Structure 1
């Protein structure tokens, strides 16, 4: 068995496609009416469709999981986030870990937690 994709829920699929393309360079692989597969295996699922599958409430900013990306020039990426047309909600800005990695954490427009760190 192998892991194929990671699915996150979004209120606005078009906004999320733009967000992940603009900031992370992810491209659309397939787009099927509320279910969008992006490069790197990220799947965007329309909130109403996902809610109908689960029959449960969707809880943004639940901090139970995160998407992790790596970026060599993390300071420039943080500046790119600050200048982005949709303000992000920061969990924390540049944090320097004792093992030498620098990371930032923030939420995407739907409250999905994202970490960007320097390569290890």
Structure 2
């Protein structure tokens, strides 16, 4: 058995492709029309096609489940935030927040209300703490990463 990815139902194929291209820099890698896969292996399928696949009614498809997210990491969170905040069509789940382990991230909705999280990489977290003058031991205590892993990230 091998996990092969997740698929998300969307109302408008072209709108979804444009959104993920403009906001996250993804591109279509496999295109079957009503079903398509984008960079990183994330797949989408149109509502109409999905309804036929699982033999249900349109009202059985619900968005805004708030029980899952599509997760991304970036080396340049501040640059990404500038791009995100330059748009007026983004609905946020929450503004930028810093988690207990020091990683900063933001969550927002795609056009069909799937939650997307974009956070800085843990390497960036360690570099940020190092730039603030924290020792490897202090960084380890905050991030819960081992000193060995932190030293590897800081090289």
When normalised by structure 2's length, the TM-score is 0.71
* Partner in structure 2 of residue 50 of structure 1: 50
Moved more, 21-30 or 106-115: 21-30
Structure number with higher strand proportion: 1
Moved more, 41-50 or 71-80: 71-80
* Partner in structure 2 of residue 2 of structure 1: 2
Separation of aligned partners in 1, 2:23 and 2:2: 27
* Partner in structure 2 of residue 36 of structure 1: 36
Query: Is 1:66–2:99 an aligned residue pair?
Result: no
Separation of aligned partners in 1, 2:118 and 2:12: 23
Separation of aligned partners in 2, 1:34 and 1:50: 9
Residue-by-residue CA offset, 1:45-94 (whole Å, 9 max, x unaligned)? 0011112223151111111110000012222212211223x611101111
The size of the alignment, in residue pairs, is 119
Secondary structure of 1:69's counterpart equals: strand
Moved more, 46-55 or 10-19: 46-55
- Structure 1: 5+ residue stretches without partners: none
For residue 102 of structure 1, the aligned residue among 101, 104, 118 is 104
* Partner in structure 1 of residue 129 of structure 2: none
Separation of aligned partners in 2, 1:45 and 1:15: 13
* Partner in structure 1 of residue 120 of structure 2: 118
The alignment yields a C-alpha RMSD, in angstroms, of 1.4
When normalised by structure 1's length, the TM-score is 0.90
Per-residue deviation, 1:117: 0.8
- Structure 2: 5+ residue stretches without partners: 123-155
